[in-house]
A and B are shown apart, each in its own frame.
Chain A
């Protein structure tokens, strides 16, 4: 069964940092690019970051550029998102998703991990 399982969310103070993980299973991880997409409470979807299948290319939304690092470990079939200088507006459910072709968007999504940034 194709599966993506996110972890690493939590409650953090403004200015803090978190590292999310997304464990993939049931498909050839190295053949897929991976996305992180977030959804603030009661709001729509927002692309956050993406990484190519071999990890050579990374992309970031303007809203997180300079504060985020995406990486992947093919030996662990896991993709990571390190976020720093967290702001209240980063509060959201963070989804991991797999992408065979960048342009058509994700075909499999995880259930997400929740981040709350609050003092």
Chain B
């Protein structure tokens, strides 16, 4: 099975500063159709997960443009250009290219 490894696991950030989370997969996430399926979710305290980005870099509807995703193959990054208070929570990457789907361990973002 594919193993997803996130870093850092804890990310303290000052308001207005950028933040970056890395997700590494144990296998290349290129589907047989040629697409790369890496998804990012946000889970705010006490809430259900919310999908932010799919297929590496496509933002879901309503997601602020300060969130961006990039990467290829086995290495992927979620960036927040300027962290706001509402961004506090845990961020998960998930691969859907290879069965079974797998989540990373999560990265907890907090405000310094």
Contact = CB atoms under 8 A, between A and B. Distances in A.
Interface of A: 37, 44-47, 59, 61-62, 95, 102-107, 109-112
B94 interface: yes
A60 to B, nearest CB: 8
Contacts of B43: 45
Given A46-B103, A47-B101, A103 B37 contact: yes
Interface of B: 1, 31, 35, 37, 39, 41, 43, 48-51, 54-55, 60, 90, 92, 94, 96-97, 99-106
Contact of A107 (B1, B31, B60, B100): B60
Interface centre among A45, A46, A102, A112, by most B CB within 10 Å? Answer: A45
Contacts, number: 55
A102 B54 CA distance: 11
Nearest to B103: A45
Given A104-B96, A105-B54, A44 B31 contact: no
Contacts of B60: 107
Interface centre among A103, A104, A107, A111, by most B CB within 10 Å? Answer: A103
A47 B54 contact: no
B51 to A, nearest CB: 5
B100 A106 contact: no
Interface centre among A44, A61, A62, by most B CB within 10 Å? Answer: A44
Nearest to A95: B48
15 contacts: A37-B49, A44-B90, A44-B105, A45-B41, A45-B92, A45-B103, A45-B106, A47-B103, A62-B100, A95-B48, A95-B49, A103-B31, A104-B37, A105-B41, A112-B48
B54 A44 contact: no
Nearest to B51: A107
Contacts of B39: 104-105
A47 B82 CA distance: 31
B96 A105 contact: yes
Contacts of A62: 1, 100
B64 to A, nearest CB: 17
A47 to B, nearest CB: 5
